[in-house]
Homo-oligomer: A and B are copies of this chain.
């Protein structure tokens, strides 16, 4: 039989000092009504006795948890790792705890995550949507209790919801326009689910860039996938077999872009001479692969920090200005995977 030492409570501390639990409670949270010396004594005895604040009792009483929930599609990308690092910095600086969960790109699992987080009474939620989420019904719980929700990166139109994003349309436009400038005429696009702003906006940017440069849009050049390595490989194989072969590709993340490159290079296709490649995200791999990958840089950590800050300020004053969308800068990083030396020396 294991001796499970019972919890030390403020009652125990109070008894030891011949004080009341109220006083102990107040002393531990530095309430101004308690005498300095009393506070000192209480704190020291509490430490000695091994007292530890019980979050549940407190949360139960306060109906606040000082905890923020985070739901992301997956953790396994540099983007998300960086965004979460940013979130964590801000929340922990502000005394909030963090509960992180993954939707695995599934709306069903996303709903389950939200439900769990709701049951654990998070004070607020930061979320980047799953690939196949197509409505926000599973958020109604939160909305009905006025629990603030902030979307970042993969956001949704939602009345009165705050969102932190980049201008995916412009980024997609710039990447595509850059390929055009480099002389590409038949530019493939590989994107993710059009349900997600990040992919549909980039796609829209791609189309507009083509239009503005007098290049006819060709649906056969557009592919859609889960943006995994595999989807890049498959797309590259299709490109290789296409009759008039494409001469450029803009793909919506670096993971797939790199897979495309590997597959093309394996087939003896030259990058960028035969096919120029542009990705998205500026993952570390983009400057490790040969040739280095042209991509869109994208302030992941900052996005996390800003979203977290916005949430916390919303938690503070319930009436905080309803800034509804924050758009962060992005940046086209041109590298050798798309840079043709032809007519481009310093021009």
Contact = CB atoms under 8 A, between A and B. Distances in A.
Interface of A: 2, 4-5, 7, 50, 52-57, 59-60, 63, 65, 67, 74-76, 78, 80-82, 84-85, 88, 92, 97-102, 112, 116, 118-121, 141, 144-146, 229, 255, 258-259, 262, 265, 284-285, 288-290, 318
Nearest to A318: B2
Contacts of A81: 74-76, 81
B88 A84 contact: no
Given A76-B85, A97-B116, A99-B99, A56 B53 contact: no
Contact of A288 (B7, B55, B289): B289
Copies of this protein chain in the complex? 2
Given A84-B102, A98-B99, 16 more contacts: A5-B145, A5-B146, A54-B60, A54-B119, A55-B121, A57-B60, A67-B120, A75-B75, A76-B82, A88-B101, A88-B102, A92-B112, A97-B99, A97-B120, A100-B100, A285-B288
Contacts of A56: 56-57, 59-60, 65, 120-121
A121 B9 CA distance: 14
B289 A63 contact: no
Nearest to A59: B56
Nearest to A101: B98
A289 B102 CA distance: 29
B2 A146 contact: yes
Contacts of A112: 92
Nearest to A74: B81
Nearest to A118: B52
Sort A-B residue pairs by CB-CB distance and give the 6 closest, nearest first.
Answer: A76-B81, A56-B60, A100-B100, A56-B56, A75-B81, A56-B59
Contacts of A76: 78, 81-82, 85
A144 B50 contact: yes
Contacts of A284: 229, 255
A26 B52 CA distance: 31
B98 A85 contact: no
A81 to B, nearest CB: 3
